[in-house]
């Protein structure tokens, strides 16, 4: 310290605190060099922080996009002992003036309002009656085991159940990114629908663009739907439970 200052022919002024190290280059007076280094280091740190924030934002966006896409898988779980599928159904009643719409549509085939799949304002419209999906319509669940299907009515799923499906999708599809996940999610129909569903006829479709009518079905008898057992999403965990 003393040595370095002597190199400049200077003495330490009283207003400077003693430091353990000062620049020693003879052509770079410390009173100029130090602020420059501090500024450069601060800039580098700020840049690194901004880059980290940008990376975190990108990751969060990718996670949100993947989460939104995973919700379009109607197949929830498939194990050697059984499978679980669930569909959003249109149960528009038209105020009782007409027969209930009663349509089962694979998730990817509902007409979407927003191009951005993950849009928080996303809405879905029935391809048969163009009604917007409402959560009160609920879902139809098919539990398939040993070649037999049991159909149940359910409320819309919860996040715990959706986490189970996400893990199942990750294992089954091993998607590279959210676009890959979207491409790998197939439209599925019920496996044994004959007792409660029928295929639709072409003229029952109001929205045909991008819709494979072979994938859409109608309930044979909407009145008997209320007689179906109720599915509780917590039961999903017992399907996955310890194998007997």
Q: How many helices (H) and strands (E) does the chain have?
A: 5, 10
- Please say whether the beta carbons of 140 and 89 come within 8 A: yes
CB of 127 to Zn ion, least distance (A): 8
Task: Name which position in 5, 117, 118, 129 contacts Zn ion (CB under 5 A).
Answer: 129
Q: For residue 89, state whether it binds Zn ion (rule: CB under 5 A).
A: no
- Which one of the spans 36-44, 100-108, 138-146, 172-180 is the region binding Zn ion (CB under 5 A)? 100-108
Specify the stretch interacting with Zn ion by CB under 5 A; choose among 35-43, 70-78, 119-127, 185-193: 119-127
Q: Is 101 in the site for Zn ion (CB under 5 A)?
A: yes
Are the C-beta atoms of 204 and 182 separated by less than 8 Å?
no
The residue (of 2 and 209) whose beta carbon lies closer to Zn ion is 209
Q: How many residues bind Zn ion (CB under 5 A)?
A: 8
Residue 127 near Zn ion by CB under 5 A: no
90 binds Zn ion (CB under 5 A): yes
200 binds Zn ion (CB under 5 A): no
| Distance from C-alpha of 167 to C-alpha of 174, rounded to nearest angstrom | 10
Contact flag: residue 128 with Zn ion (CB under 5 A):
yes
Q: What are the DSSP calls for 68-132, one per residue?
A: HHHTT-SEEEEETTEEEEEEEEE---GGGTS----EE--GGGSEES-SSTT-TT--EE-TTT-PB
Backbone dihedral region for residue 222 (phi beyond 0: left; psi -120 to 50: alpha; all else: beta):
alpha
**126: contact with Zn ion by CB under 5 A:** yes
Bridge partners of residue 72, in order along the sequence: none
Q: Which residues bind Zn ion (CB under 5 A)?
A: 90, 92, 101, 103, 126, 128-129, 131
């Amino acid at each position: 310290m003393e040595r370095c200052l002597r190199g400049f022919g200077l003495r330490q002024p009283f207003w400077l605190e003693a430091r353990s190290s000062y620049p020693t280059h003879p052509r770079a007076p410390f009173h100029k060099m130090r602020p420059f280094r501090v500024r450069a280091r601060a800039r580098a740190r700020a840049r690194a922080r901004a880059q980290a924030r940008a990376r975190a934002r990108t990751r969060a966006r990718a996670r949100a996009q993947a989460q939104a896409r995973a919700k379009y898988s109607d197949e929830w779980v498939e194990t050697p002992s059984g499978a679980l599928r669930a569909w959003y159904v249109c149960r528009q009643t038209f105020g009782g003036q007409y027969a209930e719409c009663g349509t089962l549509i694979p998730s990817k085939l509902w007409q979407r309002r927003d191009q951005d799949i993950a849009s928080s304002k996303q809405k879905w419209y029935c391809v048969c009656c163009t009604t917007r999906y409402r959560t009160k319509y609920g879902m139809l669940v098919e539990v398939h085991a040993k070649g037999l299907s049991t159909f149940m009515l359910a409320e819309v799923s919860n996040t715990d159940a959706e986490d189970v499906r996400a893990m199942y999708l990750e294992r089954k599809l091993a998607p590279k990114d959210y676009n890959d996940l979207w491409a790998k999610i197939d439209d599925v129909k019920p496996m044994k629908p004959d007792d409660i569903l029928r295929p639709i006829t072409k003229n029952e479709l109001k929205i045909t663009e991008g819709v494979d009518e072979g994938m859409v079905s109608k309930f044979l008898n909407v009145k008997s739907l209320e007689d179906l057992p109720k599915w509780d999403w917590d039961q999903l965990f017992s399907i996955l439970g310890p194998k007997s």
